[in-house]
Structure 1
Amino acid sequence: MRMSGGRIRFRGNIQAWVMIWTALVSLLLGWPSRCVCQAPSDPAVPPIDPGTNANDVPAAVPGNVVRAGEPLAVALPGGIAEAVSRVEAYDETGKAVADAAVAENGVAVFGRGTLAPGWYQLRYKNTAGESVGSTTAAVLMPFDRPWNPDDNPIAVDLAVSWLAPEDVPDSAAGLVRLARMAGVGWVRDRLRWREIQPDPDTWAETTRYDATAELQKNSGLRVLSVFHDTPAWTRPADGSPVDLRHVYRFCAGLSRRFKGRIDAWEPWNEANAGNFGGWPIHHMCAWQKAAYMGFKDGDPAIPVCWQPIGGINTPSQAKGILEGGVASYFDIFTIHSYDWAHSFASLWSNALQAASGKPLWITEIDRGIAGGLSDPLDDLPLDRALLKAKYIPQEYALAMVNGAARVFHFIL
């Protein structure tokens, strides 16, 4: 997520994501194809209300995503607000379907029921009818059935603690709102060891990670978290590996501190990759054991995942995990996958062997698509956004067909 022209920009391309949920609903859950982008409405979970101000006037919401029957308020970027007189809505076929006048406060409001469920490109028009910019929006239908995060295999890597700018008010809440409206049950987040425990004898009293964990938990989401940094005080001057007793104590402290707010842990991320350490498999296995025992010391009931390997799990990596007896030191086996969905069956065979019958979670998954460099903010052109939207439901479905119990798309 990033800021541009006064707007919060959510990484992963909102226009593609909105169309993705449309297809996911019909493909994965068997709902009618016109039950577009359904948002959860289980009364047991706090409701997601449209933004309003003190006078009950519709306010803009992150991503311009609302539920059917709610008004859509579109706040114009500050740099062009004075030049825009109307905002026109175009559907995914490029057809103009509605417009709204811009009020003196720089907000255009599409009234209740003006926009049918679906995805829209919103074009900013000046008095001459010329387009001077655009954004995207979506209208979602409510779910027609109970929502239970623990039974829901559809998850997303939200990374709210890192992607929500601390200098943008309510940006974290905006990301969490979008995740809930998408209907996912689990999200993935991150934290930094050096910010939680800056020196051996000091734990920070409160951090952004405490705030985001509380925010996500209160929204009804389940949270998987990961760390992949070490404070300077843990690293020996001679370059030798970190003392695993530090790892044990840190993980024990994490599970005690976040008990009831974070629901599962990964003790590192892609350690075999050079930018995350470049560790050999025996180093990964030793780290895993120390972290697992620490997490369980702090909270015996907390699920602890294997630390996912970067790239395709190889036969030698699977052999190292099996011969190292590591299956007793994870509750869930996790992998990352950035390959074509039709190849999952062959590419995941070693991972499934290493999992030793434990549940398999794909905690990062995607297949990139070139944007063509036609947009300064990296948004995909419409034809490629449609292609991406058609692909991602296949990604989820084929991941589950090939053994995944939970799938986290990277990244909202």
Structure 2
Amino acid sequence: MKNGTATAVSDTICPDYAHPNNGTMSDRTFARTRYPIFAACLCLAVCACTSGTAAPTSDMTGPDLADRLCVNSHMPVDDCDASRARRVVEMDWLSDAGIRCVRLDFRWWRIEPAPEQFNFADYDRVIDELSARGVTTIALVSAAPDWARPGGDSTIDPAIFGRLMRVLGQHFAGRIQLWELWNEPNWIFWEPEPDLHAYARLAVSGATALREVSASAIILSAGMLSLADLLRGEAVWQSVDTTLTAAPALAGLLNGIALHPYTWLQTWRPERSEGPERPSIAEMFDAAATVTANHHVGHLPLYDTETGWSTHLVGETDKARYLVRAALIALASGAARFTAFNLSGADPAESVPAAAETGYGLLRWDPDPLDSDIPAPEPAGIAFARLARLLQQCWLIHDSAWTWIPRGDGLFSVTCRSADRLVRFLWTSEPERTVTVAVPTPSGFAPVSATTLVSVTPANVIARQALVGDDPLILEYRSR
């Protein structure tokens, strides 16, 4: 029973795979997609799939899929006892989970409390602690000090921001490669209201200065919030289009476009779609690819630097399922990174509105970090860590017989492999629906396990068929 509904529809389906470029993407968009996403036509009929299936191939080059997972963190950077204790818990969890990337707030007011008076001690310590655990950093630079905001708003001299980025690039050379220039300037983080022309000027100055001192820096635009565009009645990523139009030179300075593809009101499941006004996550990646192609920068990778759901809005179980499914969709859609928001729950006393903001954590809020009682991770944290471990030394399979992402509800499949291992994820997005799916064993491989991702429930695979629901089914195989 779910939401008062006791019935579950069970269908037997055989995917009739459509051509990847079946009208959902322009030819240019499909050509730029590094890891194409595949639509499937679901035929509700008795399954007559081929019982013997050739093992799918992958080029197995570049970062593995686990390397493309990231977690946003607001971890404290000061050196007081409570802050150190919180960092240890968060960093230990990252290390144990196999998460190799964290997006960290680099608060300008803390780094440069007075003009040209720089304090790097806090961030030096934290970056060294993360590096010792094998964790790289996306440095999110934002939160200007009052002295840089003489009008009390976001009217900031671009030259001053450029000076900051030059100093940061020099100081952290060799330790930080990924830089994100501001946070959601199309939303409340640009005061008194969004001004993307002003942001574009700021970003050009910052990116130019950073590039002058660090040729190897990976510079990302600010992560734009999907909901901000949609709530204004605009097309999703109109903010990205406006920014690139306002400053054409910016595109040539960037190495990637950051996105925050939150679903409608941060409550919808990642696959749900009601057209351009309420797009699914896959459709949001399509839309971003179209925007960059229209600006002749379709080669720039797309970085998801925030996506998440609040326990208080969707519940612990759905939060976990939505998060891992969103990660798989983003990776299959070509995201250079998928960043879960947020590592730790927030202090209710400091959150506005507390009911929603405290609920995004993979780890529960610890009211007393100095005692020995460490709260257990939320189901979303456990599931995301399990996903990261499964994706280690695993590369995406592009073959549309193994990986396909519908634009809306349906059956989803994402498959990856290494030299001697193959992992397949299958799920249906509709919570009251299960489907029986043919799961032929690839040639040269032997089945190892079949479990659900979030609940870790063993699954029965009978006569090469499996029951699939909204908790992704994991099928693991090893080479014979």
Per the normalisation by structure 2, the TM-score is 0.49
2:126 maps to 212
2:262 maps to 338
For 1:242, what is the secondary structure of its paired residue?
Answer: coil
Are 2:180 and 1:266 aligned?
A: yes
How many Å separate the matches in 2 of 1:406 and 1:182?
Answer: 17
Inter-CA distance 386–234: structure 2 relative to 1 (3 Å threshold): closer
For 1:407, what is the secondary structure of its paired residue?
Answer: strand
Amino acid at match of 2:305: T
2:171 maps to 257
How many Å separate the matches in 1 of 2:175 and 2:188?
Answer: 31
For 1:224, what is the secondary structure of its paired residue?
Answer: strand
> Does the CA contact (< 8 Å) of 2:76 and 2:86 recur in 1?
no
How many Å separate the matches in 1 of 2:323 and 2:158?
Answer: 39
> Does the CA contact (< 8 Å) of 1:228 and 1:276 recur in 2?
no
For 1:348, what is the secondary structure of its paired residue?
Answer: helix
- TM-superposed deviation, 1:353: 3.0
> Does the CA contact (< 8 Å) of 1:156 and 1:187 recur in 2?
yes
How many Å separate the matches in 2 of 1:176 and 1:232?
Answer: 31
Are 2:252 and 1:328 aligned?
A: yes
> Does the CA contact (< 8 Å) of 1:216 and 1:222 recur in 2?
yes
Q: 1:403 aligns with which of 328, 331, 334?
A: 334
> Does the CA contact (< 8 Å) of 2:221 and 2:254 recur in 1?
yes
- TM-superposed deviation, 1:219: 1.1
Q: Write the mapping of 1:146-161 to structure 2, written as runs, cut at 5 A.
A: 152-161=67-76
Q: Write the mapping of 1:215-230 to structure 2, written as runs, cut at 5 A.
A: 215-230=129-144
1:171 maps to 86
Are 2:241 and 1:319 aligned?
A: yes
1:370 maps to 312
> Does the CA contact (< 8 Å) of 1:225 and 1:265 recur in 2?
yes
Moved more, 354-363 or 246-255: 354-363
Amino acid at match of 2:177: D
- TM-superposed deviation, 1:405: 1.9
- TM-superposed deviation, 1:207: 2.8
> Does the CA contact (< 8 Å) of 1:160 and 1:176 recur in 2?
no
How many Å separate the matches in 2 of 1:213 and 1:282?
Answer: 32
How many Å separate the matches in 2 of 1:161 and 1:149?
Answer: 29
> Does the CA contact (< 8 Å) of 1:264 and 1:304 recur in 2?
yes
For 2:321, what is the secondary structure of its paired residue?
Answer: helix
Q: 1:231 aligns with which of 131, 145, 149?
A: 145
- TM-superposed deviation, 1:175: 0.9
How many Å separate the matches in 2 of 1:166 and 1:269?
Answer: 29
Number of equivalences: 254
1:244 maps to 158
Runs of 4+ that moved beyond 6 A: 147-151
Inter-CA distance 149–171: structure 2 relative to 1 (3 Å threshold): farther
Are 2:323 and 1:386 aligned?
A: no
Inter-CA distance 176–322: structure 2 relative to 1 (3 Å threshold): same
Inter-CA distance 225–166: structure 2 relative to 1 (3 Å threshold): farther
Q: Write the mapping of 1:121-132 to structure 2, written as runs, cut at 5 A.
A: none
How many Å separate the matches in 1 of 2:147 and 2:188?
Answer: 21
Please list the CA deviations of residues 1-55 of structure 1 after superposition, one character each: whole Å capped at 9, or x if unmatched.
xxxxxxxxxxxxxxxxxxxxxxxxxxxxxxxxxxxxxxxxxxxxxxxxxxxxxxx
Inter-CA distance 237–371: structure 2 relative to 1 (3 Å threshold): closer
Please list the CA deviations of residues 294-329 of structure 1 after superposition, one character each: whole Å capped at 9, or x if unmatched.
211232211110111123453642432343313112
Inter-CA distance 169–330: structure 2 relative to 1 (3 Å threshold): closer
- TM-superposed deviation, 1:354: 3.5
For 1:256, what is the secondary structure of its paired residue?
Answer: helix
Moved more, 314-323 or 274-283: 314-323
Please list the CA deviations of residues 43-83 of structure 1 after superposition, one character each: whole Å capped at 9, or x if unmatched.
xxxxxxxxxxxxxxxxxxxxxxxxxxxxxxxxxxxxxxxxx
How many Å separate the matches in 2 of 1:393 and 1:151?
Answer: 12
Q: 1:349 aligns with which of 262, 271, 286?
A: 286
Inter-CA distance 159–260: structure 2 relative to 1 (3 Å threshold): farther
Identity %: 21
> Does the CA contact (< 8 Å) of 1:161 and 1:191 recur in 2?
no
How many Å separate the matches in 2 of 1:346 and 1:292?
Answer: 29
How many Å separate the matches in 2 of 1:395 and 1:300?
Answer: 33
2:204 maps to 289
> Does the CA contact (< 8 Å) of 1:195 and 1:207 recur in 2?
no
Inter-CA distance 304–150: structure 2 relative to 1 (3 Å threshold): farther
How many Å separate the matches in 2 of 1:159 and 1:239?
Answer: 23
How many Å separate the matches in 2 of 1:322 and 1:271?
Answer: 13
> Does the CA contact (< 8 Å) of 1:222 and 1:262 recur in 2?
yes
Amino acid at match of 1:228: S
- TM-superposed deviation, 1:359: 0.8
> Does the CA contact (< 8 Å) of 1:344 and 1:402 recur in 2?
no
Please list the CA deviations of residues 236-291 of structure 1 after superposition, one character each: whole Å capped at 9, or x if unmatched.
34968211110110000011111222221111001121244333221221111111
Inter-CA distance 176–402: structure 2 relative to 1 (3 Å threshold): same
How many Å separate the matches in 2 of 1:354 and 1:261?
Answer: 32
> Does the CA contact (< 8 Å) of 1:148 and 1:185 recur in 2?
no
For 1:393, what is the secondary structure of its paired residue?
Answer: helix
For 2:226, what is the secondary structure of its paired residue?
Answer: coil
Q: Taking CA–CA contacts closer than 8 Å with sequence separation of 6 or more, which of the two structures ends up with the larger relative contact order?
A: 2
1:361 maps to 303
Per the normalisation by structure 1, the TM-score is 0.56
Q: 1:305 aligns with which of 220, 225, 232?
A: 220
Which blocks of at least 5 consecutive residues in structure 1 are unaligned? 1-146, 373-383
2:366 maps to none
Q: 2:99 aligns with which of 170, 184, 187?
A: 184
